[in-house]
Amino acid sequence: MAEPTDHYGLSRLGPADDFSDDGYKFTDRDREAIDRLLYLGAEGHIHSGAASSAISPSDTLTPTVSTAGGSIPAGTRAYYKYTLVDVNGAESIPSAEQFVDTPLPISDPAVPTLVTTSTGGVLLPGNYYYVLTAYTTVNTQETKASAPAYLTVPVGTSTNAITLTFPTIPAGANGFNVYRKKPGGFRYDYLASVASPGTSYTDTGSVAEDCNRTVPIKNSTNGANSVVVALTSGVVPVGYTWRLYRTYNVGDYDNSLLHWVVEETAEGSGIIAFQYTDLGVATSIGSPPPPTKRSALQVRSNLLMQPISKADCLWVQSVGSLSLRPLPTQVLCRSTQESSFGFLICQRQLSFR
């Protein structure tokens, strides 16, 4: 028969015991009581079948902006923290926060200067309006348009041309886009791009405007950013992976999990990659633990459920009178084994932090 123990009303299986004869049904209320006991009494413990190894992130993060591709907007400050995760899934306190700023958008250009000539082109008489945008790497990554400049081509000729003299190019820009609204037109259409150091453009009327492209409604310069986030030392501690958290609002790390870095530098090497490229994808549910110690709920969800033998097992006889006081060194942790005859829990040596 099962003999009682001093473990909060639990009973130990004796030799030749049988679950069908000696098992006790575990009610939902019993399960909740054990969960509550672990929640309140086992805060901060790790169950791995061996002594735990406390570790906190000592390495700093180094975030570096790349403009080669990504979706992090211009003029954005991104904040990062990371945690270390051991083989049991237990997560350390977070590292110190680091941040990085993406480049500001390029300034909108000033107004061009217009001059007309009566020869050298095929422009007909009428009012011609022009605006400029400044672009960066490619001419579709451009600022909003400048204020318009216009010029009236007088009647009597049909061989006119108009020369635009550009203003000073905005810092960081690689050239200008020219947009034109011709007489009778209702919008500005793309006409040409002039790379720096070009300082002017002559509209002879021989180049047809692109009717499928008009002036942008927003500034898209410097808006294709990514951030390479690396552990400064270039080394992840042996036996650990790491979780990276990102927010755009200082101190607000709710639902900020960006990536759990478990990738190896080479397959089978066991060496975890020390950097991750943040392309600006949305973060997911998950927040770094509090900076003091892990919550009991996180600890309980990370218990290592190991296979157990009948000799190692306890099952609950009565938990109605459990006392929610600190657990002894020998702690009861729930196992994955459950049957209609009883809910089994295994007795293991646990270490405390």
pLDDT in tens, 187-224: 999 999 999 999 999 999 999 999 999 999 999 999 99
Question: Cβ neighbours of residue 231 under 8 Å, at least 6 residues apart?
Answer: 59, 60, 61, 62, 82, 242, 274, 275
The pair phi, psi for residue 9, each rounded to 5°, is 80, 10
Three-class SS of residue 305?
coil
Edge-first strand order for the sheet with 257-261 is: 98-101, 77-85, 241-247, 257-261
Split at pLDDT 50, 70, 90, the class of 291 is confident
Q: What pLDDT, on a 0 to 100 scale, did the predictor assign at position 213?
A: 97
Calpha distance 74→21 (Å, rounded): 70
Of 134-143, 248-257, 290-299, where does mean pLDDT reach its minimum? Answer: 290-299
Calpha distance 41→7 (Å, rounded): 13
Mean pLDDT estimate for the chain: 78
> Residue 349: enclosing H or E segment and its boundaries?
strand 342-349
pLDDT in tens, 330-350: 334 333 333 333 333 433 333
Calpha distance 242→228 (Å, rounded): 15
Q: Given its phi and psi angles, is residue 94 left (phi above 0), alpha (psi -120 to 50 degrees) or beta?
A: beta
The domain ranges of the chain are: 3-47+303-349, 61-104+224-278, 113-214
Q: What pLDDT, on a 0 to 100 scale, did the predictor assign at position 14?
A: 57
Calpha distance 341→353 (Å, rounded): 35
β-partners of residue 185 are: none
Segment 103-112 mean pLDDT: 97
Closest CA to 109 of 74, 150, 144, 149: 144
* Residue found by looking up tokens 């089978």 in the block: 268
Question: Cβ neighbours of residue 119 under 8 Å, at least 6 residues apart?
Answer: 159, 160, 161
Q: What pLDDT, on a 0 to 100 scale, did the predictor assign at position 232?
A: 97
Question: Cβ neighbours of residue 148 under 8 Å, at least 6 residues apart?
Answer: 111, 129, 130, 131, 181, 188
Distance from first CA to last CA of the chain, Å, rounded?
37
pLDDT in tens, 140-172: 999 999 999 999 999 998 999 999 999 999 999
